[in-house]
Amino acid sequence: MTKWPAALFASSLIIAMAILFAAYNPAESQGRGAGFMMASGSAAYAWRVNTTTGAVSYCMRRGDSSDPSYLASNPPVCSAWTAPAPQ
């Protein structure tokens, strides 16, 4: 019967440590200083954002296939960059 309190304490301690670790180590999708980020809702289009200037470009592909040979032979078509965001 004494195993349950010890197990409860150990699991609570592990959860508390995980929360503290996550609080001091935020997730980053790209390394600092990358200068841009990408966002997409499907394999057929994406937005490129210059994180330094705030300029945006929209890229699209005719199909949404994930076949490597299709992707290699059909590069995306991207719009021109917008004007930088006002500071």
The answer to whether the CB of 48 falls within 8 A of the CB of 38 is yes
Distance CA 51, CA 79 (A): 17
pTM: 0.49
Domain ranges, ordered by start, for the chain: 34-87
Q: In this predicted model, what pLDDT tens digit does every residue of 32-70 receive, in sequence order?
A: 666 888 888 777 889 888 888 889 999 998 877 888 888
